[in-house]
Amino acid sequence: MYKLSTGKMKLSAVFGLLVSLVIGCDILGTRSPEAPNSGNSGFIPPTSTDIVIDNMRNSIRQLNVEDYTACLDETKFNFKPSGDVQAQYASIFANWGAINEKTYFNAMKSDKKSEENPVFELSDIEYETIASDSTVISARYSLEINDISREVSNFSGNLRWVIIRRETGLWYIKSWFDYSAEESDTTESWSRLKAAYSN
């Protein structure tokens, strides 16, 4: 009789402990859904030149530094500013590479006073295939960035991206040429914005 009671007591103790753990940890309770992570990246592996364009467009609109720089060939990237900006800031753009792009983009993002996304558009896009692993994209661009501590917030002009495919099969922007808009256009080129946030 004594042994039977002891066994029952042990079984009851174990059962009670399990019940306490279940209730205490709320294992069986319904979990509240987690809020979406606003920092999620929309970056798509750039298996084509069109995806590179989409990634760049989205990264600028979302001010996503990581996605923006991921569009660039980190070792070979170079940027050539518009002629007027080159004449004024030759030393700044002498060896402008991917690191400079990240610096400027970070500084611009930090300077924004609101969460309003930039408005970035490409139009009149043209493709020129140079080789099986190299394509030139030419387009008109317009970029509007409000709430920054600069007098100018609208930029427009023409760009040329030399996009190359690396051994991995993925495409990246190797060279970026910026050109001012027509003389009748009073907006500044993108180069002016990069110069303003270069350090």
SS (HEC) of the chain: CHHHHHHHHHHHHHHHHHHHHHHHHCCCCCCCCCCCCCCCCCCCCCCCHHHHHHHHHHHHHHCCHHHHHHCECCCCCEEECCHHHHHHCCCCCCCCCHHHHHHHHHHHHHHCCCCCCCEEEEEEEEEEEEECCEEEEEEEEEEECCCCCCCCCEEEEEEEEEEEECCCCCEEEEEEEEEECCCCCCCECHHHHHHHCCC
Give the pLDDT score at 186. Answer: 67
Give the pLDDT score at 12. Answer: 52
The whole-number average pLDDT for the span 29-56 is: 71
Share of the chain above pLDDT 90, in %: 67
Give the pLDDT score at 41. Answer: 72
Give the pLDDT score at 183. Answer: 67
Give the pLDDT score at 136. Answer: 98
The whole-number average pLDDT for the span 41-66 is: 95
User: 19 pLDDT exceeds 60?
Assistant: no
Q: Please, what are the domains in the chain?
A: 49-196 (3.10.450.50)
The whole-number average pLDDT for the span 9-31 is: 45
- pTM value is 0.78
Averaged pLDDT score across all residues of the chain: 83
Select the more confidently predicted residue: 137 or 26. Answer: 137
Select the more confidently predicted residue: 153 or 81. Answer: 81
Give the pLDDT score at 182. Answer: 78
* 58-80 pLDDT, tens digit each: 999 999 999 999 999 999 999 99
User: 23 pLDDT exceeds 50?
Assistant: no
* 129-186 pLDDT, tens digit each: 999 999 999 999 999 988 787 777 899 999 999 999 999 999 999 999 999 987 656 6
User: 36 pLDDT exceeds 50?
Assistant: no
